[in-house]
Structure 1
């Protein structure tokens, strides 16, 4: 029996104990070994649906294991610096689990960027399908294996916004010389257009924008952008988020530590990841809508759509940037080929399902107060 099949069967008793209202203690847990792990994240303390998700994962694992498998969670900077989460998990000496975003590992593994978001790529549903049925998760695992790390999808934040700017964007020439916080493949596109790409953790973005260290930033979406207070220091809020149409965060586990767990505990951890992945995704779907309304009506944010010619130019440059990275790295090439094949599988269905729904069937809403 293959390992994945075994884990699926081992998880039946656990998952059966999961209901829409929560989790009851799972009677299928027979392994009496007590496990204590530490988990670090890139997120600030109490950040909704991100740091919260890590805390929720720990609670679910403890409940489903009958209190035998415990994970202590540390926010970014509490145990290790925010952007060193992956490294700590990879070493596995004191930390066994983490939460962050795969494109932060682009310097170590260029292919990592594909598992977070691809400019003009798949939406959240498409990314989920690619992970599960298009071989995406297997490639993700293959890519992280040399680092002794196992990844799991940690939730989709929904289509991102294009970002906060202090000047209007009327052509791609307006990006030249712009200092912008934008990671991942989107950052590669902006660099091609003459922007200076700046990477910094969440805790530094507001101050950098306020002091002029950066001229613009993207972050996540209305919910977290509102919490960060960007509307206080930037004039224009642009959409759509061309660079991250279906972005996912990740849970990562030290591979050696994961594989040393009893198989039932592995199944519990995977089942908890699946639940939290869905919880995070739906939390963002709800929270972003509520926050966008507040930004528009209460904070009088100037919402702007990137002009169609700008989006067309961005798309052209995005294709070039993705091709360049894939051409230089064998693993990135392999992942990109898988990604592009899957786009062609699900794309036609989107043309006759979601696209006409939003264009012709869905209710229309005002975007300005």
Structure 2
């Protein structure tokens, strides 16, 4: 029987039964890519998602599609990975899109904005809403196609050398804050600093900055922030559910076979789930250890939260008036957020509020 007719007629089950599937895999060309991460290897959670992704790609391709993963700074600076993918100097990157809001504020919507979506809502917007479609339309301007690359869940509100007791304490505060949240911090009188993760400790230790946020207890403990700042605030209102992305150069992606494209999609989904699973599992023990060693947990004062919310909404309105890319994506994002908050108010929030009041 002619092979193509056999495959078409037998279907997948018949192909597998006949033992011909390996021939289909082996027919694929060997592919070698490089991935530039924005994160240091020491952070096994956030950097580890890229390792998990590369591992799955290799496994699913029978070893024929291999991706070498490079930590931030190895082959390019952490905050230049978008330029690297756009130019094709690397085939892909793993990063937080909001790092690049200086190119266009719309980048932030693919990751997290102050008072945005939580992690489940963000995934829902991407997968079942218009998020992935809209962001891919936007990233096309940069020769990039994006795939979900993990989510940390809601983050903490950072480390402070002095306690924040009111909005007045935000005035003049030199605060390392990644991405878009700095715009709101600036509007309430703070001085945002965009510093890569691997450089935060030394800046905080030397007093170059007064405060810094990264992710949450597990990563923050690894980076040693509790040794140079005693107050740990919550919640990270600027990152209710920040999504990391795998950025792939469109030319490199288009050159892949349909099978390899499917492998990219499956591997990114696996890495996406793996990251948040790790954070949710590892953060509780780390928080206990931090508090046990003297860290003081501080909830942001209400006047800080209210002022930051007001300034965030004003900022989004201003951006919608001058940036058509932002306006197109944010309108859809905001509508989705409104409906999600209505639902979560009764289901998740109601359940969580009760469970967290119990002594289990």
Q: Normalized against structure 1, the TM-score is what?
A: 0.89
What's the counterpart of residue 41 of structure 1?
37
Q: Normalized against structure 2, the TM-score is what?
A: 0.91
1:183 aligns with 2:183: no
The one of 103, 108, 114 equivalent to 1:108 is: 103
What's the counterpart of residue 307 of structure 2?
313
Supply the RMSD in Å over aligned alpha carbons: 1.9
Aligned partners of 2:101 and 2:180 also within 8 Å: no
Deviates more, 1:108-117 or 1:308-317: 308-317
What's the counterpart of residue 298 of structure 2?
304
- Structure 1 stretches of at least 4 aligned residues deviating more than 6 Å after TM superposition: 25-28
Q: Using the alignment, how far apart are the partners of 2:268 and 2:77 within structure 1? A: 23
Q: Classify the secondary structure of the residue corresponding to 1:54.
A: helix
Q: Deviations over 1:188-240 (max 9, x none)?
A: 10010111111111111000011111110111111111111000000200001
In the superposition, relative to structure 1, how do residues 317 and 26 fare at CA in structure 2: closer, same or farther (>3 Å)? farther
Q: Classify the secondary structure of the residue corresponding to 2:165.
A: coil
1:174 aligns with 2:169: yes
Number of corresponding residues:
343
Residue 174 of structure 1 deviates from its aligned partner by 1.1
Aligned partners of 2:79 and 2:99 also within 8 Å: yes
What's the counterpart of residue 340 of structure 1?
334
Residue 28 of structure 1 deviates from its aligned partner by 6.2
In the superposition, relative to structure 1, how do residues 167 and 270 fare at CA in structure 2: closer, same or farther (>3 Å)? same
In the superposition, relative to structure 1, how do residues 209 and 345 fare at CA in structure 2: closer, same or farther (>3 Å)? same
Q: Using the alignment, how far apart are the partners of 1:207 and 1:254 within structure 2? A: 34
What's the counterpart of residue 73 of structure 1?
69
In the superposition, relative to structure 1, how do residues 320 and 27 fare at CA in structure 2: closer, same or farther (>3 Å)? farther
Aligned partners of 1:143 and 1:331 also within 8 Å: yes
What's the counterpart of residue 85 of structure 1?
81
The one of 124, 128, 133 equivalent to 2:123 is: 128
What's the counterpart of residue 228 of structure 1?
223
What's the counterpart of residue 148 of structure 2?
153
Q: Using the alignment, how far apart are the partners of 2:110 and 2:253 within structure 1? A: 21
Q: Using the alignment, how far apart are the partners of 1:277 and 1:27 within structure 2? A: 30
Q: Classify the secondary structure of the residue corresponding to 1:208.
A: helix
1:329 aligns with 2:323: yes
1:292 aligns with 2:287: yes
Q: Classify the secondary structure of the residue corresponding to 2:274.
A: helix
5+ residue gaps, structure 2: 1-11
Q: Using the alignment, how far apart are the partners of 1:151 and 1:352 within structure 2? A: 33
Q: Using the alignment, how far apart are the partners of 2:321 and 2:155 within structure 1? A: 27
The one of 335, 356, 360 equivalent to 2:350 is: 356
5+ residue gaps, structure 1: 1-11, 17-24
In the superposition, relative to structure 1, how do residues 364 and 121 fare at CA in structure 2: closer, same or farther (>3 Å)? farther
In the superposition, relative to structure 1, how do residues 339 and 121 fare at CA in structure 2: closer, same or farther (>3 Å)? same
Aligned partners of 1:44 and 1:76 also within 8 Å: yes
